[in-house]
Amino acid sequence: MDKLKLEILTPNGEIFNGEVVSVVLPGEEGEFGVLAHHASLSTLLEAGVIDIEKEDKTVESILINWGVVQVDEEKVIVLVEGAVAIRGDNESAIATALEDAKKLLSDIADSNPAIASVSAKIESAAQKLF
């Protein structure tokens, strides 16, 4: 399977950089998935969860509050304002990440109906990890 290069950057540094199989992004117009050789596209992202499918079939979730994505044939660059990766080696690390994610969500000022569904998605992502 072809792979694409994914970079996720926040003002505080790089949160993800590597080769992935596919990535699902929360676009303003709705969620969309990107595989290798996707047509060029630039669009805004809203608060939501980025699902990354890695080479070893594991899925990693990253919560973001705002972003812009630039897709071209071989790479995807995502610039986000705030992001929390929901990952960790043990339960306590995952729990901390979850706390951070919830904090980021509550920080998103305008009350957005989408946020409730995002919260649900984080919970389900966490369930898979535990």
Partner 1 sequence: MANLKDIQRQIGSVSNTQKTTRAMKLVSTAKLRRAEELAKRSRLYAVKMNQVIAEIAGRIKCNKVGGIDNRCFIDIENPKMVDIVFVTADKGLCGGFNIQTIKAVNKLLKEYKEKNVKVRLRGIGKKGIEFFKYNEVELFDFVSDLSSKPDKVRSDDFIQTSIEDYKDGKIDGLHVVYNGYKNMITQELHVNKVLPVDTEQFDCNEEQKSILEVEAQDEEHMLDSLVSKYVGYNMYYALIDSVAAEHSARMQAMDTATNNASDMVKSLNVKFNKARQAAITTELIEIISGVESMK
Point out which residues bind partner 1 (CB under 8 A): 7, 9-14, 27-29, 39-44, 66, 68, 70, 72-73, 77, 79, 81
Give the pair of three-digit tokens for residue 130.
């535990």
For residue 1, the tally of other CB atoms under 10 A from its CB is: 8
| Alpha carbon distance 92, 90 (integer Å) | 6
- Helices and strands: H and E segment counts in the chain: 2, 9
**Torsion over CA of 112, 113, 117 and 123, rounded to 10 degrees?**
50
Nearest approach in angstroms of CB 99 to partner 1 is 22
Query: For partner 1, which is the closer residue by CB, 32 or 119?
Result: 32
Query: For partner 1, which is the closer residue by CB, 14 or 56?
Result: 14
Nearest approach in angstroms of CB 90 to partner 1 is 26
Query: For partner 1, which is the closer residue by CB, 79 or 129?
Result: 79
Nearest approach in angstroms of CB 46 to partner 1 is 11
Strand pairing of 4-10 and 75-80?
A: parallel
Nearest approach in angstroms of CB 122 to partner 1 is 24
Query: For partner 1, which is the closer residue by CB, 19 or 28?
Result: 28
Query: What DSSP character marks residue 108?
Result: -
